[in-house]
Amino acid sequence: MKFKITDSIDKNLSESKSDELNHIFAFGVFHGEENSFLKSGNFKKFEFIYKRLKRLDFKAKKGKSVLIESPVYSLIYGLDKKDKFNYDSLRSFIAAAAKTAKTNKAKEITVVIPELNGEYYIKKGLFYSAAAISEGAELGLYEFKKYMSAASDSKGKLKTDKDEKYPEVINIHFNGLKVTKDNVKTADEGFDFGKKTASAANFARDIVNEPGNVVNPEYLADLAAKISKESGMDCEIFNEKEIVKKGMNAFYGVARGSKNPPRFIHLTYKPKNKSKSKNIKKIALIGKGITFDSGGLSLKPADFMTTMKSDKSGACTVLAIMKYIKNFDVELEVHGIIAACENMPDGGAQRPDDIVKALNGKTIEIDNTDAEGRLTLADALSYTKDLGVDEIIDLATLTGACVIALGEYTSGVMGNDKDLISNIISTSQITGERMWELPFDDNMKEKLSSPIADLKNVGNRYGGAITAGMFLEEFVPDKAKWCHIDIAGPAFTKTGFNYNPKGGTGVGVRTLLYYLNQHKL
């Protein structure tokens, strides 16, 4: 897809008349401006829209839309009230326009964005707006049809026709923006950035959507090795014997019940143009990598076991970031760490009441085998001690309690450093990946106390997302700044929302790439 800024839609309109079914005009409309949005530009030829909207009693509430097919294909999309507009409003709008073009097999869209507040027209604002536009299109058009026989060939590859990709071109007209060389350059840079971040998110979605009989720990390890080879980064993979030898018994305890052996994955990115005189920041990204979670001997009910292929979402996010990080030229040393295994209930499986010793020497009483993710993360966090990292960010579909607390669209954020947490959350406000801080509370520490071990792996039913985070904190190396992101809610959607179709969302990929991109070469 090509994206470009246009200072007028007149040329697009005249070109569309020769092939009007191949071009869609999309107008973003603020609530309350349904009868006036065409007055702010040279749009007299579109005033037929007013009559249609009046007849339909259309209100431009969030996500509401109308498609008018004659005399010009025109999509009217509700942006809600102007004071609620943000970058994510653009993503949703563009996704809707792109999907409309695809449904109607239109190769070109001209998008008209109503006049925005000045912050969206300054350099940084325009860059993020352009990035949001390309992200909205790329993310909104994503499909996972690999296993649908009608959409795939005999080798499982999607049948695609390069001559029939809809849309091919998206023209963007910002009402009120003066189109200068500098603005075009900034927008083009933003479009390119958004394409990269969306590609990374879609890569993560692909892995999340793969079923457990395809993606197991060895699959993730092989994929990491492939990424390493393609990117020229270091990759260490520990097999079952090496995991036990290193003392990762919290992790190994979870893996014991599966015939598919565990793998511990460590990818390392180092900038090519590293300054010898400069100490660069080291960041560890850790992703929960349970390729399927049955609950172990604390077996999940059937309804709760479906979609548990998505329990590897954190790992998929980390792999996607490590695959694409070379495209962003960040001046960072980044470690991608995954403790990959299945949580299954065979005769060798870990039992409730078992006690395991983690890599950092702390002992854990197993109270519930379905609280397994924190056990794998405990050893992954402990592993970073010898890496000397400055920051650790982990992503995990960790607790149902976080979904109950924040809903299906918001991740819970916790940690030991307020500045890091604040930076991650403020970045998420740009990317539209909603995040909210949950507070640690020393009064809740007793919920994790055990009479026979250093701690147990679950508290009671109250504040479960917080006690899970506080459990993880016990394994964070001293002096390291740490942020835990519980992505249990938004990692996988059964219904789809905004620019996220049903399935894996790739949550966290864009926020962390935006965050890492703050450290440019």
Which of 300, 326, 362, 502 is catalytic? The answer is 300
142-151 — which CB contacts under 8 Å span 24+ positions?
142/202, 142/205, 142/501, 143/501, 144/205, 144/206, 144/209, 144/501, 144/503, 144/504
Type and span of the H or E element at 332: strand 332-343
Of residues 488, 92, 100, the one with CA closest to residue 307 = 488
Collect all residues with Cβ–Cβ distance below 8 Å to 133 and sequence separation of at least 6. 3, 90, 91, 94, 111, 170, 172, 190, 191, 194
Type and span of the H or E element at 68: strand 65-68
For residue 68, the one-letter residue type is: I
Type and span of the H or E element at 95: helix 87-103
**256 flagged as catalytic:** no
43 close to 67: Cβ distance less than 8 angstroms: no
Pairing of strands 503-504, 74-78: unpaired
- Which two three-digit tokens encode residue 174? 């910002």
In 256-294, which positions are buried (b, 16+ CB within 10 angstroms) versus exposed (e)?
A: bbbebbbbbbbbbbebeeeeeeeebebbbbbbbbbbbbb
How far apart CA 422 and CA 434 sit, in angstroms, is: 13
**374 flagged as catalytic:** yes
How far apart CA 76 and CA 74 sit, in angstroms, is: 6
Which of 374, 447, 456, 510 is catalytic? The answer is 374
How far apart CA 151 and CA 158 sit, in angstroms, is: 6
Catalytic residues: 300, 374
